Every structure is written in structure tokens, then in C-alpha cells.
Amino acid sequence: MHFTIRYLSEYRYGGPVTDNLNALRVRPAATLCQQCDEFQTRIAPEARMTRHLDYFGTEVQEFAVVAPHDELTIDVRARAITRAPSPPPDGTWGGLQSRAYLDAAGEYVLPWKDQPATPGLDQLQERIRAESPLQTLRLLCQEIPQRFEYRRGATYVSSDVGHLLETGAGVCQDFAHLAIVLLRRHGIAARYVSGYLWAASTDGGAKSMEVDTHAWLEALLPSAEPGGEPGWVSADPTNSGLADESYVKIGHGRFYSDVPPVKGIYRGTARSELSATVTMARLDLADSALAAA
Amino acid sequence: MDELFEPDGTPRAVARPLVDALERLGHDGLMDAGRRRDAIFVAQAITFETTGEGGATHERPFPLDLVPRILAASEWDSIKHGLAQRIRALNHFVDDVYHGREIVRQGLVPWRLVASCPHFERAVHDIHPPGGVYTHVAGCDLVRDRDGTWRVLEDNVRVPSGVSYVLENRAAMARLVPELFARYAVRPIEHYPQILLRALRAMAPSAASDATVVVWTPGPANPAYFEHAFLARQMGVELVEASDLVVRDDMLYLRTTRGLERAHTVYRRLDDAFIDPLAFRPDSLLGVPGLIRAYRAGNVAIANAPGTGVADDKAIYRFVPEMIRFYLSEEPILQNVETYLLSDPEVLEHVLEHLDTLVIKPTGESGGRGVMIGPDAEESEIVRMRGVLTAEPDRWIAQDLVELSTVPTLGSDGALHPRHVDLRPFAVFGERVDIIPGGLTRVALEEGSLIVNSSRGGGSKDTWVLADGVEPEAPVPTLADTAAPELPDLRFGQWNDQQQQQQQQGPSD
């Protein structure tokens, strides 16, 4: 699929603020099934932008507005092309012990140390286990939205898994965190993914829609072939299944705070209002009709 | 072993003049000097905040024992070379971990162990510090085992503290008991602040020779505040807190009465987690937002570099001898204490069977907190530890128990008693590694105790390195000599073009 993405954030402060430093992680990544062919960011008031790749390979744009201002606009526009991921490998549980698997898994299989012992996790872990890592991943993505309510405002940006279990409700960030914790407990490497999701049906319908930044996960699944390479498989525990070409990835990390879309700090009044919108449009609907003809 | 007395109770040759002098001073003389010492330390606020197991804290004069520790020149020589070697290897390791990871590729250190270090800082990945130095100030803890062999017990390359006590102890000793020095040529240590300032200036990313250096303290509530103020005063630089600093245009500025003034090097005396809320702890608003940006841009030098904690992790410690062989192609001069990583089930089993003879340490703590010394532990404590280790083996290491040498120490009864000691020498890595002779000798004041940490009731001793037969030292720099080297002038002539022609031919057959 071919998308244009516009991610517009407008902050209005209750009074003049200064030294407004921000780090953006908003650029669609280049991966095996995704490319980003256009990308630009505009800041108002004007600010010099520096870029670097972080530890996880995500592009970070940093800027600072020093002079007093009472509004800040971050206007990001991107074009991205995605294609369907290859079929997920369905290796056995035994595959998790292979040298190749553990090397590729790296730190993404380590227990989540920031996570306090949370009652309820043990039972969830026990119940959500199937005959293979892939089946477990699928089951997890079905079970989580059934057991928990998707409700904005139920949790906060810094909420942990315990908060989700307590309130029984949360948002995609919480669902992804819970799935990652459970996968790692099963010995399956899992990482948090931030990005954009085209949330319409894939076969037409709307050409343009307002969405939000989205969070899902990637799990490392062992190869079904003996001696084969394991592969990262995208899955979305908010939308009950594996991810397809409607997902545009920005980057990944161990958890949310490794890859937040916008992270900033400023000096001045604490009062601020944010209006953030993500608008996605498909450029390929007419093209695909042509291709089909 | 006792360092001053033979097993039969007679003084060793090197200690004889000291023992004679102590006897001449006598009980009354020593007690009197002790009273004057406490009065001086309290008046100068040379105190230490101690934290008991319950978390209660209180201030007390830093306990300096009046009997010095004596190290022979040859002995110090080997310690000095061993430490310099070790610190170079640790510095290489920090650089490698945040860049090429060669030591991991070679299979010498498991990546997972690195990635699970609490002080492995992903935010400084791929940053090159000015001069390639990360571990500017190091304070490794050394001990001597039963046969007198020196071993490294722990590396400290984050914000090691204690050097102010080394300097104050010497000054106090010279004032209180000058007669003890009479028959010894003790090597001086007073130039430490100049060595430090020279290193901090050498690392400054500044084209001019007047780089601005600041000492950053968390504030008067910090237990080591005295030292922060002491070092700033001795070096003649500003002592600042976060609110005195601001980053603009990726440069660090110091607020002064004349407006903002650029700072080139910051000697920070607080943990990574509190230096930049944008890069570290998202839940903290402490620190200087943007500092890591300025650091990444090469506009400010930070001592020690953020992220060095990965090298003094208690689990990584076990691999330091391998680092020395790998990065330097040398054999380690100073030995480690035998250390067991519990992630290996067989090792864990062995350790669980020998808990009553080993020392167990939590990897994420410092200052002696959470340490269990097997032979001293109650049975119930061992049982509890067995459960803890089985549940979370990765968070603990086990080490062989080192007996620790003793040095005679003045008791409250005015008599000398053997007490266990360790040694923390202070090394400064600027353009080279400089180590001031001796260091902080910490002494466990209770009979038989092996816990020397000052926060747990330990004391200290002036440490004498004798001057006879030493190899010639580099001259001691004076303040005037500590300016950074200037950039080459423009006498190298005009600009020249520099390109490489692409000239590969087709495959030869």
C-alpha cells in the first residue's frame, strides 16, 4: 500500500514558555517490507533540526525553541510504501533454545526488570500458551482484547502492566506492553513497535482517514526448518491478529519509553493544551484498480 | 597478614621507626592528638553521613586513624602499573560497548550480560567523547589476601568519591603528629587537584586555551558535598548545580552575573540518571535538559562520561582480565578475586552448596549494601539467601572470601589492635593515566569486621608510599602548567586538495 501520512501536533501554552526541547521519533522506518520515499518536518516557531539514529536504529530529530513562545507546531509529512509481510515461521518451542534464536533474540527476551511482580500475570501466562510460539502469539492477540476493554483515559503514558490488570482497561500501548511481558515469560523475544495504522478495511472504502499513532509488537519466532533463521513477526494485540501492510512502522524498543513519538521538556507554565492528529490517505487505490484491469 | 607486624609480634623492618615514634608519643600523646583531630574535622565540616540498615542517617567527623599505612616503593610501583593497565582496558570496554562490540563478537563477553547491566545507557550509543576517554576518574578498590597478594575487589568508574579525605588526612596528620613522618620520605599527594584540572582542561572541546571547567554537585544535601566544594575550590573553578546550567544551540552555558558563559568541561558528581531528563529517566525533571545533545554534538566534555557504569558492574567485573588481554594484549598485573556468575545452573548449584564460605553481593548496589559474608552469616540468613539466589540468580554474584590484610589501629583504649583494611587509589585519565601515590585506606573499626565502607562505620588511614628507589616521576604540574595545549598555528601553508581516484580494474583472469 502507498500512504501519505500527516502527523500534526499543536501545543498551546497558558503563557510564554522558553527552552522548549523536543525529540521526535516519527519517520517511517526502512524495513524489508516498507520504505519511506518522502519525509519532512516543519516546526513553528522555526528551529534548527539535528538528526541521528538511536541505539535501536530509529531516526531521532531533535530541536529546541529557545525564545519565548506560547504556541508550538510540529508538522510531519511522510509518504510510505508497504507490502505484505512474508508468512510467519511456525517453529517449535524447542527452537527457542537454539543458538541462532538466542543470538537474534538478544536483550528482547530478558525479563522486564522495571516490571514489579504483578498478581494475575502468572495465571494469564499459564492460560495463554498454545502448541507453538506462533500459535501462542496468535492466541495472545485474540485473548488480550477479549479480556481487556480498550478505553482511552483508563491509563496514563507512564502506566505499567499492573495498572492495566487492575483497571481492566487501557489503550494500545498497554496491550502491547502486556503482550510483550507475557511473550518474554514464555521465552519468546518480543519488542515494542511504534507507528501508524491505516485502520480501514484493506479492500477499498475510505481514501483518507484520521487515525492516531499506534503501538503493536514484534515477536521473534523460530524457523520451522531445522537450522533456519528465526524471524521477527509483527502482531497487534489491540486488533486481534498479525499485522499486515496497513501497518507503517516508525521504530521499536524494549518498551514505550525507548521509542516515544514526541518527547519534550520546556521552561514555563505547566498549563498546556495539545491537539494532535494523524491523517492518512491512500495513494494506491486508483492504481490498484488499474493494475487489476 | 598484618602489614606492619610480623606474625611473632615484632615490627617489620619498614615499620620500626614508626613504632618507635608511636611509643614515644605514648598513650596520652595519641589520645590528645585524637581529640584535636575531631575538633579540626568538625570545624572544617569534614564529616560523613552514615546510613544504618534502617535507613536513618547521621553526620559524624570522618574517622581518621592516627596510625598510617606504609607501602614500599616497589609495591606501589606494581599497583600503579596494574591499575593504569586496568583502567585503560575498562576505558576500551566502554568505547567498545557503545560502538563496535568487538569483545562481544569475539565471544568473550555475553551481550545479554552487557544489555542487562542497570547502568548500560542506550542514550549514549554511538557517541564519541572528546579524546576518546570515558573513565576520567577511577577509584578501584584493592585488597590483600592471606599471602599479601594485591587483588582488585571492585572497580569504580562512575563517580568515585573519597579523594578529598586522602588530601585532608595527609594535611591533618602532618599537623597532628608530625613526629611520625620524621624518619620517612613520604611521597606527596597534594598535587591531585592540579592533575585533575589538567585532565579536565585537556578534554575540553575548545579551540582556545582558556576552557571553562565546572564541578557539578547535586547540592549540599549530598553526602559527598564537602568533596565537591573542596575540589572546586582547590582547582579554582565554579561549583555549580543544575539550575546554574543551561543548554542552548547544543552548547552548555553557565549562568553568571555577566550573563551566559560557555562551559566546556563539566566534572559531574551525580549519577547518569540525573544529568539530563530528556535522555535518561523520563520521570525525572532533575538535571540539565539537552546536555546529552550537546555532548553528542561534541560541544561539551563530561567527566566521567555517561554510560561508564557498564564497566564497573559487579557481573562485568569478572571479565576484566579478559578485557586486558583482548584490548591491550597484555597479561593482567593485578588479579581479580575469584567471582562466580550465577546464571550458569552448575555454578549456581556449587554456590548454593558453599554459601557459608562465600561472599554474596547484589549486582545493582554499591557501598556494601546487601552484601552477605558467608562465614559471618546466621543460618537463617543463609536459608533466606538460598531462596533469593534461586529466584533471581542474575542479580547476584558470589566471590571467594578474601581475608584482608590488617594494619594496627588505635583503639578507644589507646592501644593498637589489628584491623582489616582496603585501599582505593585515585587515578586520573587525561592525556595519560596519573595515579597519586597511595589513596584512601579504609579500615573496619570493629574487631574481625571486613566491612570498611565509610557509610557503614568504617574509618580511614593516611597512606604513605615511600619515596626510596622510585622510578623518576613526571614533574608535578603547577596551576600555571595546567592550561590545555594550544591548537597548531597556521604555519602549515595553504589549502590542499585531497581525493581518491576510483581505479579498480575488472576481474583479472
Task: Give the domain ranges of chain A.
Answer: 2-82+260-292, 93-258
* Per-residue model confidence as pLDDT tens digits over B151-179: 999 999 999 999 999 999 999 999 999 99
Q: What is residue B201's predicted lDDT score, i.e. its pLDDT?
A: 94
Looking at mean pLDDT, say which of B45-54, B80-89, B106-115, B380-389 comes out highest.
B80-89
Q: Residue A115 — pLDDT band, cuts 50, 70, 90?
A: low
Does residue B118 have a cis peptide bond before it, meaning omega lies within 30 degrees of 0?
no
- Matching residue, cell 479492500: A203
**Full 3-state SS string of A207-254:** CEEEECEEEEEEEEECCCCCCCCCEEEEEECCCCEECCCCEEEEEEEC
Contacts of A263 in chain B (CB under 8 A): 278, 282
Top mean pLDDT of A205-219, A273-287, B260-274, B364-378 is at B260-274
In 3D space, the residue among A54, A59, A57, A55 whose CA is nearest the CA of residue A76 turns out to be A59
Backbone φ and ψ of B133, nearest 5° = -105, 135
Q: What is the pLDDT of residues A3-14, one digit of tens each?
A: 999 999 999 999
Phi/psi at B421 (5° precision): -135, 160
- Chain B interface includes A23 (CB < 8 A): yes
* Relative orientation angle of helices A133-147 and A172-185, to the nearest 10 degrees: 140
* pLDDT for the residue A290: 44
Q: What is the mean predicted confidence (pLDDT) over A57-73? A: 96
Of B98 and A119, more confident: B98
Using the Cβ of A169 and the Cβ atoms of chain B, whether some distance falls under 8 Å is answered with no
Contact B25, B179 (CB under 8 A): yes
Q: What pLDDT score does A233 carry?
A: 97
Q: Name the residue among B246, B285, B297 with its Cβ closest to that of A19.
A: B246
Tell whether B388 is within 8 A of chain A (Cβ): no
A152-161: per-residue pLDDT in tens?
988 888 888 8
Please report which helix (H) or strand (E) contains residue B168, including its range.
Answer: helix B163-176
Taking the C-alpha atoms of residue B139 and residue B423, their distance in angstroms, rounded to an integer, is: 9
In the predicted model, what is the mean pLDDT of residues B266-280? 93
Q: What confidence tier does B133 reach under pLDDT thresholds 50, 70, 90?
A: very high
**pLDDT over threshold 80, residue A286:** no
**Alpha-carbon torsion, ordered B370, B372, B377, B383, to 10 deg:** 80
Cβ within 8 Å, pair B125-A106: no
CA distance B410 to B48: 20
Highest mean pLDDT among A118-132, A257-271, B260-274, B358-372: B260-274
Q: Quote the distance between the C-alpha of residue A289 and its chain's center.
A: 30
Q: B248 CB near a chain A CB, below 8 Å?
A: yes
- At residue B458, the pLDDT reads 86
CA distance A220 to A236: 14
Residue A141 pLDDT > 70: yes
CA distance readout (Å), B384 to A8, A91, B53, B352, B381? 55, 40, 17, 11, 5
- Give the contacts of B476 (CB within 8 A, at least 6 positions apart): B188, B191, B194
In the predicted structure, residue A292 carries a pLDDT above the cut 50: no
- pLDDT at residue B470 greater than cutoff 50: no
pLDDT confidence band for B489 (50 / 70 / 90): low
Contact A64 B283 (CB under 8 A): no
- The reported pLDDT for the residue numbered B444 is 92
What's the rounded Cα separation, in Å, for the pair B420 and B432?
A: 32
Question: Chain A contact for B293, CB < 8 A?
Answer: yes
**Residue from B289, B226, B291 nearest B265 by CA:** B291
Enumerate the residues of chain B whose CB falls inside 8 A of the CB of residue A48. 249
Query: Residue A118 has what pLDDT?
Result: 75
Instruction: Tell me how many residue pairs between chain A and chain B have CB atoms under 8 A apart.
Output: 55
* Averaged confidence pLDDT in chain B: 89
- Cα A213–A249–A156 angle (5° rounding)? 35
B289 reaches A (C-beta below 8 A): yes
Residue B506 has pLDDT above 70, yes or no: no
Show residues of chain A in contact with B249, CB under 8 Å: 48, 64, 66
Average pLDDT on B113-141 reads: 94
- Please give the CATH number for the structural domain made up of A2-82+260-292: 2.60.40.2250
Nearest to B91 by CA among B152, B124, B140, B132: B132
Dist. CA B205–CA B131, nearest whole Å? 9
Share of chain B above pLDDT 90, in %: 73
Please tell me if residue B208 touches chain A, with a CB cutoff of 8 Å. no
Residues 6+ apart with CB under 8 A from B461: B64, B65, B67, B68, B69, B169, B407, B409, B421, B441, B443
Q: Is A21 on the interface with B (CB under 8 A)?
A: yes
- Tell me which H or E stretch contains B251: strand B251-256
Centre a 10 Å sphere on the Cβ of residue A267 and count the other Cβ atoms it contains: 14
> Is B115 within 8 Å of chain A by CB?
yes
The C-alpha cell at B272 is 547518569
Contacts of A51 (CB under 8 A, 6+ apart): A59, A60, A61, A62
Cross-chain residue pair A21–B112, CB shorter than 8 Å = no
Query: Across residues B467-495, what is the average pLDDT?
Result: 54
Q: Are residues B115 and A50, on separate chains, in Cβ contact within 8 Å?
A: no
Interface contact A158-B246, CB threshold 8 A: no
Nearest Cα residue in chain A from B293: A62
Angle, helices B225-235 vs B163-176, to 10°: value is: 80
**B447: how many CB neighbours lie within 10 A of its CB?**
11
Q: Is A224 in contact with A133 (CB distance < 8 Å)?
A: no
Strand duo B238-240 + B213-216: pairing: parallel
Check whether B364 has a pLDDT greater than 90.
no
CATH of range B338-401; options 3.30.565.10, 3.30.1490.270, 1.20.120.1750, 3.40.50.300: 3.30.1490.270
Q: What is the pLDDT of residues A224-272, one digit of tens each?
A: 998 889 999 999 999 989 999 999 999 999 999 999 999 999 998 878 8
To which H or E segment does residue B95 belong? helix B73-97
Q: Are strands B372-373 and B301-303 parallel, antiparallel or unpaired?
A: unpaired
Q: Does A23 sit within 8 Å of B122, measured CB to CB?
A: no
Which residue type sits at A61? Answer: Q
The CATH number of domain A93-258, selected from 3.10.620.30, 3.40.50.1400, 3.20.20.70, 2.50.20.10: 3.10.620.30
Q: Tell me if chain A has a CB within 8 Å of the CB of B297.
A: yes
Backbone φ and ψ for B27, nearest 5 degrees, come out as -55, -50
Question: Quick one: average pLDDT of A103-131?
Answer: 83
Asked if B111 has any chain A CB less than 8 Å from its own CB, the reply is yes
- Counting Cβ atoms within 10 Å, is residue A62 exposed (0-12), middle (13-18) or buried (19+)? buried
β partners of residue A252 = A193
Q: Tell the residue number behind the cell numbers 499492573, with chain if given.
A: A162
Q: How far apart are the C-alpha atoms of A47 and A40, rounded to whole Å?
A: 14
Does A106 contact B at CB distance below 8 Å?
A: yes
Q: What does DSSP assign to residue B175?
A: H
Question: Which residues does chain A have within 8 Å of residue B290's beta carbon, measured at their own beta carbons?
Answer: 21, 64
Any CB–CB contact under 8 A between B282 and chain A? yes
For the ranges A157-171, B313-327, B439-453, the one whose mean pLDDT is highest: B313-327
Residue B79 CB neighbours (<10 A): 24
Sign, CA dihedral A262-A267-A272-A273, equals: negative
Give the pLDDT score at A121: 86
B163-176 helix and B192-202 helix, angle to the nearest 10 degrees: 160
Give the integer Cα–Cα distance in Å for B354 and B160: 32
Main-chain dihedrals φ then ψ at residue A283, nearest 5 degrees: -95, -10
B199-245 per-position pLDDT tens digit:
999 999 977 667 999 999 999 989 889 999 999 999 999 999 999 99
Instruction: Enumerate residues 6+ apart whose C-beta is below 8 A from B16.
Output: none
Chain A residues whose beta carbon lies within 8 Å of the beta carbon of residue B122:
54-56, 258
Average pLDDT over residues B77-86: 97
* Mean pLDDT confidence for A178-200: 94
Indicate the domain borders of chain B.
Answer: 13-337+402-477, 338-401
Contacts of B30 (CB under 8 A, 6+ apart): B22, B66, B177, B410, B414
CB contact under 8 A, A263 and B297: no
Mean pLDDT of A152-172: 88
pLDDT higher than 70, residue B40: yes
| Backbone Cα Rg of chain B | 24
pLDDT of residue A293: 38
Q: What percent of chain A has pLDDT over 90?
A: 75
Contact A46, A115 (CB under 8 A): no
Give mean pLDDT, residues B122-145. 95
User: Per mean pLDDT, which of B387-401, B421-435, B462-476 is the most reliable?
Assistant: B421-435
**pLDDT value at position B141?**
95
Shortest CA distance to B117 belongs to which of B397, B383, B438?
A: B397
Task: Name the residue in chain B with its Cα closest to that of A105.
Answer: B112
Rounded-to-integer distance, Cα B58 and Cα B353, Å: 39
Distance of CA A226 to the CA centre of its chain: 31
pLDDT at B434 over 90: yes
The rounded distance, in Å, linking the Cα atoms of A112 and A116 is: 9
Distance CA A232, CA B164 (A): 53
Q: Give residues with Cβ within 8 angstroms of B28, minimum separation 6.
A: none
CB contact under 8 A, B249 and A66: yes
From A47-56, B322-331, B410-419, the region with the lowest mean pLDDT: B410-419
Per-residue pLDDT band for A289 (boundaries 50, 70, 90) equals very low
Report residue B347: phi and psi, to 5°: -65, -45
Could you report the predicted ipTM of this complex, rounded to two decimals? 0.91
Among chain B residues, CA nearest to A102: B112
Nearest to A200 by CA among A116, A110, A282, A133: A282
* pLDDT above 70 coverage of chain B, percent: 88
